[in-house]
Amino acid sequence: MLLFALLVFTLVAIMGLFLAVDHFKGRPSDRQFAVAHAILAVIGSALVILDALQGDTRVFINIGLAVVIIALGLVLSIRKHKTGVAPKGIVFAHAALAVVCYLILGYFVVVPN
pLDDT at 69: 98
Q: How far apart are the C-alpha atoms of 47 and 34, rounded to whole Å?
A: 20
Nearest to 8 by CA among 51, 61, 54: 51
Quick one: average pLDDT of 27-48?
96
Domain ranges of the chain: 2-110
pLDDT tens-place string over residues 74-113: 999 999 999 988 899 999 999 999 999 999 999 999 998 7
SS (H, E, C) 42-101: HHHHHHHHHHHHCCCHHHHHHHHHHHHHHHHHHHHHHHHHHHCCCCHHHHHHHHHHHHHH
- pTM: predicted TM-score of the whole model, two decimal places: 0.92
For the segment 44-71, what is each residue's pLDDT rounded down to a tens digit?
999 999 999 999 999 999 999 999 999 9
The pLDDT value given to residue 21: 95
Distance CA(96)–CA(55), nearest Å, equals 28
